[in-house]
Structure 1
Amino acid sequence: MARDTRQLAEGLRSWLDRGEGVTGVKVLSAGHSNETYLVEGLNEILRMPPSEEGLLPPYDMVRQHQVMSAVEQHSAVPMPPMLELCTDPAVLGDPFFLMGAVQGEAFEYAVPEWLAADPVEGADAVCRQWFDAVAALHTMDPALMPPGGRSVSEEIAYWLKVAREAEAMPALIRVLEDLDASPPRTTGAATPVHGDPKHGNCMWDKGRLTVLLDWEMAQISEPMLDLGYILMFHGQGEASLADAGFDLPGWWSWDRMVAEWEQRTGRTAVDVMRYAVLGQAKVSAIISVGAHLFRTGRIKDPRFEGFAMVLPAYVGLLENRAMAA
């Protein structure tokens, strides 16, 4: 992490009208995606673009703030209180925004104790709240969101371009080329779409969903993109470690998730497996970018060396799913 947290604290003290309350800045997550810090003393969250080369530039902090503010104001999605946006890079070195801190913990790689202790009703409650939040976004009036989005065809073309530029595995390129040649159908008018609505981006306070995070890929598009992305976590086996909870007896099945989403949104899911394939191809492309950046020496972070080790199994699963679709 390239930023000096002492300098961040000093910059916030000078810029904020409540800056005298800042006692420090603590890293929550930092590296090659949007970086998140706790502003100590104010109990607020600072969000900034990567301090070094990022996986998927550009990082538009203004748009992220606009999207999150719109969702906070006009939907039932659990959101943090949105605070100041600063576009002047002279303050902290990059544009940034602030949010109120929200109580909770996220899980993605291991089930937390409170859920392990209640694997039936607790898991059902997790899925119910999660899908309530996703459906609340998909039924939000898109006119209340900042403009911008890709059609399904444009979405496929975008990730195909990303994969090619990352010199991704030929199998991934072929899957995306096949989708590009025959895109999946749509369910109707475009809606707000999160882009990364995995359960790992939810925060929980003793089983209660407190916030849905990581909105940098949000857009106005086909909501099946989100549903397919969620569904692709089913049955990944050893190809993924980010599916904690999916094997719990109360966790919703693939079919249950589809049915619950249809009931909440009033839409009929179409080409479900192909959207799941697209979601997994998207993740494969992102992993390919990280592996490529490490392989070419543009990123030294050893975490990205591990990306290349994961790819063969992950793309192999993708191929099998693509053939089944």
Structure 2
Amino acid sequence: MARDTDQLAAGLRDYLPRGAGITGVTTLSAGHSNETYLVDGIGEVLRMPPSEEGLLPPYDMARQHAVLSAVANSAPGVPLPPVLELCTDPSVLGDEFFLMGQVPGEAFEYAVPDWLAADPDAGAESVCRQWFDALLALHNMPAGAMPPGERTVQQEAQHWLDVARGAESMPVLVDILEDLAKRPPRTSGAPTPVHGDPKHGNCLWHEGRLTALLDWEMAQISEPLLDLGYVLMFHDQGEASLADAGFALPGWWSADRMIAEWEKGTGRTAIDVARYAVLGQAKVAAIISVGAYLFNSGRIADPRFQAFAGVLPAYVALLEKRAMAAG
């Protein structure tokens, strides 16, 4: 990241009424989009747009703050960090930002943590239960409580088609998204709040307890099956696996169990769910394509984006197989 953490600390000391307690700023995660930092001394987390070109502009800090505030107020079953100040004055730190309270926990995405590996049956069952309870709480939240921002399923498919085309993606990916935009999956009912990236890698865990669901930049009002399909596509990825740690554990919920729990918790039918899983995977493939395009065009030197180009063919091959099976 390009930001100077000493300058961030100095800016926050001047800006915050409690700024005198700040002893420094430590990078937590560059992410693939937004950046997060720990504000040492006061135990808070700073959220900012990417310091260099990112995957999914624009990065609307005010809207992210509004989404988190709305979910905290209207869906208490979704664990979140405390939502603190929003600053829309870029002169303070160089960009808009907001602050959150720090909560204990660690995320896992690429490797199963020791505490879960030691309890692969009941532990995995508990992880899935807590994870889905949070997702169900969001999908049952009143849509009117969310800040504006709504897309239909057709508009969602068209958006990722536009992203894929702009990144000069593989033709088969473009073809699949064109089909999804022309023949969008059917809906389960009225739109609800959706997270947009509800993978288990965006969950924080502390002593087996879900302490926060993070990364809300793609949250909107839409069809909740978009979230369910996104989660389901992590099953059985094989050599195309990106971030499915935990899915092979004996206590981890199967796809059928996830569908059944979602239907029970929402009172909806998971209609066309296989096609929603295809749309979720096509969305990820479009994002991977953007990373590869940014690296190959010399617009960003992040080695993670270089790795995207290597995994993309296998990932799109799996997507094509799933799209053919889904019809």
TM-score normalized with structure 2 length: 0.99
Which residue is equivalent to 1:61?
Answer: 61
- How many residues align structurally? 325
SS at match of 2:239: helix
> 1:25-174, aligned counterparts within 5 Å?
25-30=25-30, 32-75=32-75, 76-174=77-175
Which residue is equivalent to 1:282?
Answer: 283
State the one-letter code of the partner of 2:71. V
Deviation >2 Å, runs of 4+: none
Distance 1:93 1:248 in 2: 44
Taking only the aligned residue pairs, the percentage that are identical comes to 75
SS at match of 2:148: coil
TM-score normalized with structure 1 length: 0.99
CA contact (8 A) 1:31 1:51 kept: no
Distance 2:5 2:248 in 1: 39
Which residue is equivalent to 2:14?
Answer: 14
State the one-letter code of the partner of 2:320. E
> 1:291-306, aligned counterparts within 5 Å?
291-306=292-307
Question: Deviation digits for residues 252-283 of structure 1, max 9, x if unmatched?
Answer: 00000000001111111110110000000000
Unaligned runs of 5+ in 2: none
Q: 1:108 to 1:83 in 2, by over 3 A?
A: same
Distance 2:188 2:30 in 1: 37
Distance 2:74 2:159 in 1: 29
Q: How big is the shift at 1:149?
A: 1.5
Distance 1:321 1:224 in 2: 17
Distance 1:227 1:31 in 2: 23
Which residue is equivalent to 2:248?
Answer: 247
CA contact (8 A) 1:32 1:51 kept: no
State the one-letter code of the partner of 2:154. S
Unaligned runs of 5+ in 1: none
Question: Deviation digits for residues 45-93 of structure 1, max 9, x if unmatched?
Answer: 0000000111110000000000001111111100110000000000000
Q: How big is the shift at 1:32?
A: 4.6
Q: How big is the shift at 1:241?
A: 3.1
Residue 23 (structure 1) aligned with residue 45 (structure 2): no
State the one-letter code of the partner of 2:37. Y
Distance 1:31 1:142 in 2: 28
Q: Alpha carbon RMSD of aligned pairs, Å?
A: 0.7
Q: How big is the shift at 1:31?
A: 5.9
State the one-letter code of the partner of 2:2. A
